[in-house]
Copies of this chain bind each other. A is one copy, B any other.
Amino acid sequence: MHTSLNIDRAHQGARINIPTYHSSNPCVSCLSKAYCLHKSIDINKLINPANHYVQKFKIKKGDPIFHNGDDHKHLYNVRDGYVKIEHSQPIGQHHINQFGMAGDLLGLDGWADGKHRYDAYALSDGELCSINVKQLHTAMKLDPAVTMIIEQLMSYALNCTQDHIFSLSTHSAEQKLAYFLIEYRNRLDHLDLRNTTIRLPMSREELRSYLGMTLETLSRSFTFLENKGYIAVKNKEVSFTDLDQLEALLEPSD
């Protein structure tokens, strides 16, 4: 089935298990390393002091991470928790264009002209790694593998947004929700957080914004999928009761 293949392939970045070492470098003992931009870099290189450009810190639900207009001094890698990336409109309107989870790289929007275009907020408590852009450039010179990873991650990010565009421009409301749920679940799968029940970290309002529909239509789409028996919804908990049928919804109608 094509559409699901699409989803799967979009998230096929080969994720490698890297054995743990011990050092003062936060990356060396990082449990999320396998999902980070350092995933395929020789771990020994990270012990090099020149590569100490990563700093980890905790975030609490609601904390801002960066703002539109801020200087683009860091990239951020999510270690734990969930974040949203949104575009603030003048009249108090927001449009969310990304939900980030462990392993996602944030802040690529600022690289074009040195300023962030979007706002990022924590949707839950969590932990981030900030990556100093200047020092990252130094590391890129020292180790071409870092450059490769960054390129790949940016290309990957580009492909994800293209998938989003595809969904927005071709799917119905119910299909958009189904597509989102499947894709979201797949991303969790890759983090070994697979479960038949997932908990959505975002409110209906935030999801509405991401999917480009109204609150009411989103709510009706949830109940539609629930009545069909494809999912079970309890507030922010979603159980996948018939994944095959849910995916079948996305097949081009005959």
A contact set with B: CB distance below 8 Å:
2, 9, 12-13, 87, 89-91, 93, 95, 97, 108-113, 117-118, 137, 140-141, 144, 147-148, 150-159, 161-162, 164-166, 168-170, 209-212, 252
- Interface centre among A97, A147, A151, A166, by most chain B C-beta atoms within 10 angstroms, is A151
In the complex where A89-B252, A141-B144, A144-B137 touch, is A13 in contact with B158 (Cβ < 8 A)?
no
In the complex where A112-B13, A144-B137 touch, is A87 in contact with B212 (Cβ < 8 A)?
no
The residue of chain B having its C-beta at the shortest distance from the C-beta of A109 within the complex is B159
What residues of chain B lie closer than 8 Å to A108, measured between beta carbons? Answer: 154-155, 158
Q: Can you add 5 more A-B contacts, CB < 8 Å, to A13-B113, A140-B144, A165-B168?
A: A12-B113, A97-B166, A137-B148, A154-B158, A161-B161
Contact: A155 with B112, CB < 8 Å?
yes
Q: What is the copy number of this chain in the assembly?
A: 2
Q: Which A-B residue pairs are the 10 nearest by beta carbons?
A: A169-B212, A111-B155, A112-B155, A112-B156, A154-B154, A161-B161, A168-B168, A2-B90, A111-B151, A91-B252
In the complex where A168-B165, A211-B169 touch, is A155 in contact with B252 (Cβ < 8 A)?
no
Contact: A162 with B159, CB < 8 Å?
no
What residues of chain B lie closer than 8 Å to A118, measured between beta carbons? Answer: 162
Contact: B89 with A158, CB < 8 Å?
no
- Interface centre among A9, A148, A165, by most chain B C-beta atoms within 10 angstroms, is A165
> What are 9 A-B residue pairs whose CB atoms fall within 8 Å in the complex?
A12-B113, A93-B252, A97-B165, A108-B158, A109-B158, A109-B159, A111-B155, A154-B155, A154-B158
In the complex where A166-B95, A169-B95 touch, is A2 in contact with B155 (Cβ < 8 A)?
no
Contact: B90 with A212, CB < 8 Å?
no
CA distance A151 to B151 in the complex (A): 8
| Nearest chain B CB to A139 CB, angstrom units | 12
The residue of chain B having its C-beta at the shortest distance from the C-beta of A107 within the complex is B155
